[in-house]
Chains A and B, each alone.
Chain A
């Protein structure tokens, strides 16, 4: 799902803040490499210095309540290797544009847009800053102003239609999660309230010891989500949950559509290697026909259709295999036995399309027979620029055909 899921919090000190977000990246390696590119020296020390330089402003005015990922950790990741997707959770995004968009969404979600009944879903946005599904909720906290804190889970996307189509999906699942969070917070709240009653002169902060830190100035602790829920794994869970949302959100609607039968052979999936995107190759039967004279081409086709063995030799493998692919499209799939590349001649009962190197010897009995066609693709002046695109095919005007004419 092309979206970012984030948890926002209305901090008593800092106002609306993003505290945790999860994003999808397609291509696991690429994400990491790019990520490293932003931190040129790969050591661990660099992370902290980078974090402080990159988001120096946010670092200064953040507190426990605004924090999520522990210091020294860059974030949380989950890999979906089968689809080459990585889900990354961090405190706030590197990309300045995304940061702006999320921050904008966060502020609007917690302090501008009104949800009837205060808790619940709303969608807002424009094509400039993106569209936001926002679900606002509050958690009980003994120490908070008014004994509750406001949070929102936002889903930011450029795809307005998708957000609106998925309204029911988002609403029902986020509702479940927030009510779970709320009941958890309530439990903690109630037990803490009892303690307060028992020891009215002691603050909870002292009870919790090192976990909570007093804020200078206000004299009150701003507690993190971990403390409010008494759950040290909460962000791991949120990561898993947000990941699940992103994954399942994409699968929520599925389409099934029919397609025509395959024109391919041997029940094999097409090998990506055979998609000669860079190497010289033939794109079409038309192109192949242009590399030889018309009569030769027709003779070659005749041999193919009769089921004779077609031997193609060239110093460029991609030319051989693309020519074989094109020629075999003339035959029904079950009539093709192909060896794209071999070091020596193979008999016709083994294959009717055979790719060889130019220097490979062909036995005399083959050359003498009517039942074979040999096509040599010789680059003009022996110059084939492998790096050139398919356009270089026009250099290949010579294709020698050795066979009996009909």
Chain B
């Protein structure tokens, strides 16, 4: 498998390390927070400034005298020069060049927080067995969770739009319309593929610009209408990141921080939202407001610094296997040997079968591994030993693009099922090498895609056109004969000529084009030529005939026969449009991007940290913080989606216990539940067989076996899912009896089934 991967890497990339880890020195003092309020008269006043001169509150003294030009500038930038009516929270990002600063602004009207406890209709999903959930989720298009989430994301807005006749795309935005042009039925693909597809649909602008009406209504119906005073008050929270002086030695630091800032914005924003919510909630509590805000601000700064400077895992196994061809064998043998060693030592009864339990929990919640073992129908490689880069995903990205950075974070958090569940894993222990080894193992099972960034593409558009009279074609910027380029341009004219049929005497369009080309070579002055060129094309257009298409077709691009046929139809449909050749994109030079995969798998750090998908920490002293983070992650997630459930797996190598904490969005009490984890026999068997195989076989063989076992878990889950779908009323006991599955495996299999391909019904 591994050697094959090397062969399929058809793109080049530099295995650079510099982009992987951010440089650590970023001080809390570099973050400055400004809070302004604007009352109903439009008067803006400063509420808080954590600037260099210490904290400043209006109560400190005469505020008016203290406002310097700096604050005045920020006030203008944050609110804007002309007031805009604000319906929702506005977010703004500014880059200030001198001095180098980044500014994130949130402008919002004060609002009462939605009290989720009021919602009596919401039912705790704990009441439902996972069996029921599977039943629901195995019908993706009718499932309540999925369909509401589609609606919520503004994907399909049938009721709002059916009556619109004037809208160009209104009629198409029905459920059927938007599904008709999926490259293939989405139901045949695994969860992470579907998630990407839905993301594309939910951010599409092709059906006009409808937004989630549900949320708007929610905001309007919220019971704060009586509180008119609060409604009028507008707040602006600005987070200023003071970067380093714009000198040469700092250029690298600035670049690195900016990279971090723009790539991690979704996580940063979730913390800003948290801050915003605290401000919102405590604004009326005048006596404690500043104390509470100060505390929240300190926490915010601390979190951001941690996020930036935490020690990242030096060698995440899965990602390195994906990226580093030349070291694949070493990575593989080190991983397998570590696994065997850890299983031998810590998978004993006296350690509570620690490794089995932990890996069961991780496989059950960080579900992105499923798509890496699930067979892809579109893959052209049938050999069982091959693992290939996903063809389907490539196709999807090409035709219905989504944001891979967002997709990767979702994968890492394990949010691949039909409803969004996220998970983080923390390994606790005083023995750092043991914790590190466990983190290392888990970095094989917690999987995600590798992101590449193409940062060398350029388009030299204006100059090129001026000099060479050709349309944009980044490939052409290499040395090609000028005549060739001219040809490209003149062909464009032919297209135009052909497409504006005027019934007159036939004229060979190709001849006209060549004539044009020659004229253009002869001409020097660009401006004069423009008009002349227009005249010529104009004349040619008048003379060209609609009937004589055969000669012009010859000179068209080397499109296939079929293509030419469909061209005719398309041409007819696009009557009145002028066709411009598609600008070609240059061959890409991929670089490792600064991405969540490498950033959110952290190493052994001194303290507990929020956000990270995986990290280790010495002591189990963070329970309160973690519970707070869990609740927060359910309320406003970094993923830009509503979160159904947020889980934290805590594996303690001091007590050899492994448990998980669950915050559920539907839970009316807003409490965090604690659950023991039990090992799945399938996982135990898998680990034992790898351990035993290693005595006889080389590491790569053991790794292949491991993959086969994972694949088997997936296939079993598919059987389970099909069986449940076909036998709607079956009981859990019957399932394990009929299918011969161990009951202890069922929770894992349910979870995997939800991440796998959904049955089409």
Which residues of A come within 8 Å of B, CB atoms? 1-4, 23-38, 42, 44, 47, 54, 73-85, 87-88, 93-98, 100-101, 108, 111-117, 120-131, 156-162, 164-165, 167-169, 171, 173, 176-177, 180-181, 184, 230-233, 236-237, 239-241, 243-244, 247-248, 250-270, 272, 275, 277, 283-284, 286-287, 290, 333, 390
B559 and chain A: residue at smallest CB distance: A81
Complex contact A262–B322 (CB within 8 A): no
15 A-B pairs with CB atoms under 8 Å apart are A24-B206, A30-B172, A34-B171, A82-B398, A85-B399, A113-B92, A123-B92, A131-B91, A164-B266, A177-B462, A254-B588, A257-B393, A258-B322, A260-B373, A286-B722
Q: With A259-B374, A265-B382 as given contacts, are A114 and B76 in contact (CB-CB < 8 Å)?
A: yes
CB contact between A264 and one of B89, B377, B387, B726 (< 8 Å): that residue: B377
Complex contact B216–A259 (CB within 8 A): no
Complex contact A75–B263 (CB within 8 A): no
B5 and chain A: residue at smallest CB distance: A258
Complex contact B372–A258 (CB within 8 A): yes
Complex contact B459–A241 (CB within 8 A): yes
Complex contact A42–B575 (CB within 8 A): yes
| Size class of the B contact interface (CB-based, 8 Å) | 35 or more
Which chain B positions have C-beta within 8 A of A231?
A: 527, 530
Q: With A244-B583, A255-B452 as given contacts, are A165 and B262 in contact (CB-CB < 8 Å)?
A: yes
CB contact between A27 and one of B91, B181, B582 (< 8 Å): that residue: B181
Q: Identify the 10 closest CB pairs spanning chains A and B, nearest first.
A: A32-B573, A250-B401, A257-B449, A94-B168, A74-B576, A97-B209, A95-B208, A255-B449, A255-B404, A180-B462
Say if the beta carbon of B93 comes within 8 Å of chain A: yes
Known: A76-B577, A244-B459, A333-B382. 7 other contacts (CB 8 A): A74-B576, A113-B80, A127-B88, A251-B401, A253-B453, A275-B184, A277-B760
Say if the beta carbon of B185 comes within 8 Å of chain A: yes
CB contact between A35 and one of B82, B168, B455 (< 8 Å): that residue: B168
Shortest distance from the beta carbon of A275 to any chain B beta carbon, whole Å: 6
Complex contact A126–B387 (CB within 8 A): no
Q: How far is the CA of A184 from the CA of B463 in the complex (A)?
A: 10
Complex contact A256–B450 (CB within 8 A): yes
B573 and chain A: residue at smallest CB distance: A32
Complex contact A259–B453 (CB within 8 A): no
Q: Interface centre among B386, B398, B761, by most A CB within 10 Å?
A: B398
Q: How far is the CA of A160 from the CA of B759 in the complex (A)?
A: 32
Q: With A244-B585, A258-B388 as given contacts, are A29 and B570 in contact (CB-CB < 8 Å)?
A: yes
Complex contact A88–B577 (CB within 8 A): yes
Shortest distance from the beta carbon of A217 to any chain B beta carbon, whole Å: 26
B531 and chain A: residue at smallest CB distance: A232
B200 and chain A: residue at smallest CB distance: A2
Q: How far is the CA of A100 from the CA of B726 in the complex (A)?
A: 48
Q: How far is the CA of A81 from the CA of B570 in the complex (A)?
A: 11
Shortest distance from the beta carbon of A204 to any chain B beta carbon, whole Å: 15
Which chain B positions have C-beta within 8 A of A171?
A: 95
Which chain B positions have C-beta within 8 A of A177?
A: 461-462
Which chain B positions have C-beta within 8 A of A114?
A: 76-77, 80-81
Q: Interface centre among A87, A93, A256, by most B CB within 10 Å?
A: A256
Which chain B positions have C-beta within 8 A of A54?
A: 166
Q: How far is the CA of A106 from the CA of B573 in the complex (A)?
A: 30
Q: How far is the CA of A259 from the CA of B379 in the complex (A)?
A: 9
Q: How far is the CA of A233 from the CA of B492 in the complex (A)?
A: 13
Complex contact B461–A237 (CB within 8 A): yes
Shortest distance from the beta carbon of A263 to any chain B beta carbon, whole Å: 4
Which chain A positions have C-beta within 8 A of B53?
A: none
Which residues of B come within 8 Å of A, CB atoms? 5, 73, 76-77, 80-84, 86-97, 154, 164, 166-172, 181, 184-185, 188, 199-200, 202-212, 215-216, 258-259, 262-263, 265-266, 322, 371-393, 397-408, 448-455, 457-459, 461-463, 465, 471-472, 474, 527, 530-531, 534, 559, 563, 569-570, 573-583, 585, 588, 590, 593, 640, 711, 714, 722-723, 726, 759-761
Which chain B positions have C-beta within 8 A of A230?
A: 527, 530
Q: With A125-B91, A265-B382 as given contacts, are A111 and B171 in contact (CB-CB < 8 Å)?
A: no
Complex contact B322–A161 (CB within 8 A): no
Complex contact B82–A284 (CB within 8 A): no
Complex contact B167–A283 (CB within 8 A): no
Which chain B positions have C-beta within 8 A of A261?
A: 375, 379, 381-388
Which chain A positions have C-beta within 8 A of B531?
A: 232
A126 and chain B: residue at smallest CB distance: B88
Which chain A positions have C-beta within 8 A of B405?
A: 161-162, 165, 253
Q: With A264-B377, A264-B379, A283-B759 as given contacts, are A240 and B169 in contact (CB-CB < 8 Å)?
A: no
Complex contact B406–A284 (CB within 8 A): no
What is the count of residue pairs linking A and B with beta-carbon distances less than 8 angstroms? 399
Q: How far is the CA of A264 from the CA of B322 in the complex (A)?
A: 24
Q: Interface centre among A79, A82, A121, by most B CB within 10 Å?
A: A79
A113 and chain B: residue at smallest CB distance: B80
A93 and chain B: residue at smallest CB distance: B168
Which chain A positions have C-beta within 8 A of B579?
A: 76-79
Shortest distance from the beta carbon of B724 to any chain A beta carbon, whole Å: 11
A48 and chain B: residue at smallest CB distance: B576
Which chain B positions have C-beta within 8 A of A390?
A: 760-761
A171 and chain B: residue at smallest CB distance: B95
Which chain B positions have C-beta within 8 A of A290?
A: 726
Interface of A is mostly: mixed
CB contact between B167 and one of A1, A95, A122, A256 (< 8 Å): that residue: A95
Complex contact A2–B203 (CB within 8 A): yes
Complex contact B383–A254 (CB within 8 A): no
Complex contact B574–A256 (CB within 8 A): no
Q: With A158-B203, A165-B405, A260-B376 as given contacts, are A284 and B722 in contact (CB-CB < 8 Å)?
A: yes
Which chain A positions have C-beta within 8 A of B451?
A: 253-255
Which chain A positions have C-beta within 8 A of B374?
A: 259-260
Complex contact A161–B403 (CB within 8 A): yes
Which chain A positions have C-beta within 8 A of B726?
A: 284, 286-287, 290
Q: Interface centre among A27, A87, A96, A258, by most B CB within 10 Å?
A: A258
Complex contact B578–A77 (CB within 8 A): yes
Shortest distance from the beta carbon of B103 to any chain A beta carbon, whole Å: 8
Complex contact A256–B389 (CB within 8 A): yes
Which chain A positions have C-beta within 8 A of B84?
A: 108, 112
Complex contact A262–B380 (CB within 8 A): yes
Q: With A124-B92, A258-B322, A261-B379 as given contacts, are A165 and B265 in contact (CB-CB < 8 Å)?
A: yes
Shortest distance from the beta carbon of A59 to any chain B beta carbon, whole Å: 16
Q: With A1-B401, A27-B181, A260-B374 as given contacts, are A161 and B265 in contact (CB-CB < 8 Å)?
A: yes
Which chain A positions have C-beta within 8 A of B570?
A: 28-29, 32, 79
Complex contact A127–B212 (CB within 8 A): yes
Complex contact A275–B188 (CB within 8 A): yes
Q: How far is the CA of A84 from the CA of B579 in the complex (A)?
A: 15
Which chain A positions have C-beta within 8 A of B210?
A: 97
Q: With A111-B81, A251-B454 as given contacts, are A237 and B465 in contact (CB-CB < 8 Å)?
A: yes
Complex contact A277–B185 (CB within 8 A): yes
Which chain B positions have C-beta within 8 A of A237?
A: 461-462, 465, 471-472
Q: How far is the CA of A349 from the CA of B218 in the complex (A)?
A: 67
B463 and chain A: residue at smallest CB distance: A180
B465 and chain A: residue at smallest CB distance: A237
Which chain B positions have C-beta within 8 A of A287?
A: 726
A30 and chain B: residue at smallest CB distance: B181
Shortest distance from the beta carbon of B495 to any chain A beta carbon, whole Å: 10
Q: How far is the CA of A257 from the CA of B583 in the complex (A)?
A: 28
Q: With A26-B181, A113-B92, A270-B377 as given contacts, are A232 and B530 in contact (CB-CB < 8 Å)?
A: yes
Q: How far is the CA of A93 from the CA of B531 in the complex (A)?
A: 29
Complex contact B80–A26 (CB within 8 A): no
Complex contact A262–B375 (CB within 8 A): yes
Shortest distance from the beta carbon of A335 to any chain B beta carbon, whole Å: 12
Which chain A positions have C-beta within 8 A of B380?
A: 262, 267-269
Complex contact A164–B373 (CB within 8 A): no
Which chain B positions have C-beta within 8 A of A47?
A: 576
Q: With A76-B580, A95-B169, A123-B93 as given contacts, are A158 and B262 in contact (CB-CB < 8 Å)?
A: no
